[in-house]
Amino acid sequence: MLAGHGAEKTAAIGDVLFEVGDAVYPFIAIREGEAAILDATGREIVRHGPAGFLGEMNLLSGQTVFLTAVVTEPMRYVEVDRETLRALLFEDGALSDLLLSAFVQRRESLQRVDGVGIEIVGPTQDQATRALVDYAKRQRLPYSWRDPVEDAEAATLVADLAAEEIPLVRLPGGVDLRRPSNGELSRALGIGLELDRREEVDLLIVGGGPAGLGAAVYGASEGLNTLVVESNVLGGQAGTSRRIENYLGFPAGISGTELISRAITQARKFTARTATPYRALSLKPGGEGDHVVKLEGDREVLAKAVLLSTGAEYRKLPVDNLEEYEGLSVFYAAGPPEAQLCGAQRVGIVGGGNSAAQAAVWLARGGALVTLLHRRADLAETMSAYLIDELDRYGVAVRDRSEICELHGTDGRLESVKLTDGSELPFSFLFLFLGASPCTTWLGDCIARDEKGFVLTGPDAGAEGLLETSVPGVYAAGDVRSGSIKRCATAVGEGATVVRFVHEHMNRVRETRQTAAGS
């Protein structure tokens, strides 16, 4: 099947099929022979032979190439252009399932390999450095972090730089960036869409979590010119979940990374555009239509309808010096890099929701000694029953009525935590799953919100539509909406439902304008 859409080629021993720093590369399916996959130093990571294929997530996302492929035995192979492959994934479910799963697993494997991807050079005590490292993690980029305080070679690299030029980021292929913003790093790697100064769309979706992506799939598939803007990385909190066990249609469970990767691919199949990271700064309602959302970077989007699906930000512990530990020994998500750090270490998980349980189970399976702390008397009040069983199955210790009041450690390295009852627990790492606050401060007073900042919809907002806000043509879905059920499947459903209301709103505006023109 692939041969019908690509070109059959041959390669001799030593031929380079693609290399670190290339902007793009094709999908390669091997008929005969073998290729070795190498990192930037020439170290071999893996080999692929007959019936194997080359590539990982950046083949679909457009990111700069992180690896080199060199022929080790004479090869005969099928080469398929990246855009052609994307079209095939849309049309062939079996091929899509196979490749997406493999690409996601390969990306997660690369995150555990030192020396692959971007290199971030900056001190552990530097907040800008830690923030960029956190972004790389959330973007699921392979990276290495070198501290010039402890690494003489790293110190040489930044010796001539001013403090405001740190961190230094070295990209695959030899390009260096000095203290880049998340957007500058993202676009230097070829990730995300570069927006024009002014964009005009039917539906603007602000926030790329499950609700936003659900709306993007349904909106674009029904003919709406759809744009998704996200201030961080697509996927929201769901994208960081190690395993979602109760999502309909996946009886064996699915990782957040794979679910979101599938959703993004599906949205792009219907020509929805995604632009990250672009932070929304303000919303100017346009009465019966043509709302204006201003974005950072002097961009603005004129939209006939707007969906607010910005989700919520992680809540933090109310303790002193928390920022000293963040990104070093205190985290808000548990991915492959963190699992590597935590093997055979004492780890604390703070929270009583499903995300906390999923992280606890994931880390315990990786060999960590995990204790889950929550402030309620009964986990069943906030956690799914199957996850409570999983905690017991994997030996996670659970302490109820427990709250942390102090962190103890040195140079960002956690050693213990003190609880409000006076007891002290020895933890080397701490993971916080304390819920979140809605990302709505940028809206100002133009949209009605409840006392906690969540967006009001339907009758509570004086609106006719169930998901419409106090401004006609502006909707809210997912965790940002007041009264929403904080579940991934529910957010997707709300996002999909919004599209029907958008069509109805656009029809009303069109009829009103036609009537006004006729009179």
Model pLDDT for residues 284-311, shown as the tens digit of each residue: 998 766 899 999 989 999 999 999 999 9
Residues carrying CATH 3.40.30.10, the chain: 118-188
Please give the CATH superfamily to which domain 322-434 belongs: FAD/NAD(P)-binding domain (3.50.50.60)
- Check pLDDT > 90 for residue 325: no
Which range, 124-133, 269-278, 424-433, is most confident?
Answer: 424-433
At 368-423, the pLDDT tens digits run 999 999 999 899 988 999 999 999 999 999 999 999 999 999 988 999 999 999 99
Q: How confident is the model over 171-188, as pLDDT tens digits?
A: 988 889 999 999 899 888
Q: Residues 240-266: what's their mean pLDDT? A: 82
118-188: CATH class: alpha beta
Report, in angstroms and rounded to the nearest whole number, the Rg of the chain calculated over CA atoms.
24
Q: What are the tens digits of pLDDT across the range 477-517?
A: 999 999 888 788 899 999 999 999 999 999 998 888 888 77
d(CA 439, CA 148): 35
Please list the residue range(s) of the chain that carry CATH number 3.50.50.60. 198-313+437-518, 322-434
Distance separating alpha carbons of residues 242 and 99, to the nearest angstrom:
20
Q: What is the mean pLDDT of residues 440-464?
A: 94
Q: Which residues contact 99 (CB under 8 A, 6 or more apart)?
A: 53, 55, 85, 89
φ/ψ of 52, rounded to 5, equals -90, 175
Q: How confident is the model at residue 334 (pLDDT cuts 50, 70, 90)?
A: confident
| Closest by CA position to 31, among listed 66, 80, 67, 65 | 80
Between 66 and 193, residue with greater pLDDT = 66
Rounded (10°) angle between helices 256-269 and 93-110: 130
Computed over every residue of the chain, the mean pLDDT equals 91
Q: Give the model's pLDDT for residue 251.
A: 87
Q: Which of 318, 383, 323, 314 is nearest to 352 (CA)?
A: 383
**Mean pLDDT of all residues in 118-131:** 93
% of residues, the chain, pLDDT over 70: 99
Residue 35 in contact with residue 69, Cβ under 8 Å? yes
pLDDT of 472 reads: 93
Please, which residues have CB within 8 angstroms of residue 251's CB and are 6 or more apart in sequence? none
Model pTM?
0.78
Q: Which fold has domain 2-82?
A: Jelly Rolls (2.60.120)
Residue that is written with structure tokens 């998901």 in the block: 467
Give tens-digit pLDDT for 232-247: 889 887 887 767 777 8
Contact 214, 247 (CB under 8 A): no
Q: What is the mean pLDDT of residues 51-74?
A: 91
Cis status of the peptide bond prior to 426, with omega within 30 of 0: no
Token pair of 110, please? Answer: 């690369």
One of 3.30.390.50, 3.50.50.60, 3.30.70.120, 3.40.190.10 is the CATH number of 198-313+437-518, namely 3.50.50.60
Residues of the chain with CATH 2.60.120.10: 2-82
Residues forming beta bridges with residue 178, ordered by sequence position: 168
Q: In what order do the strands lie in the sheet with 397-399?
A: 330-331, 429-432, 346-350, 369-373, 397-399
CA atoms of 508 and 511, how far apart (whole Å): 5
Residue 263 dihedral angles phi and psi, to the nearest 5°: -65, -40
Place of tokens 């100064």: 197
Exposure string of 426-455, with b = 16+ CB inside 10 Å and e = fewer, is ebbbbbbbbbbebbbebbeeebbbeeeebb
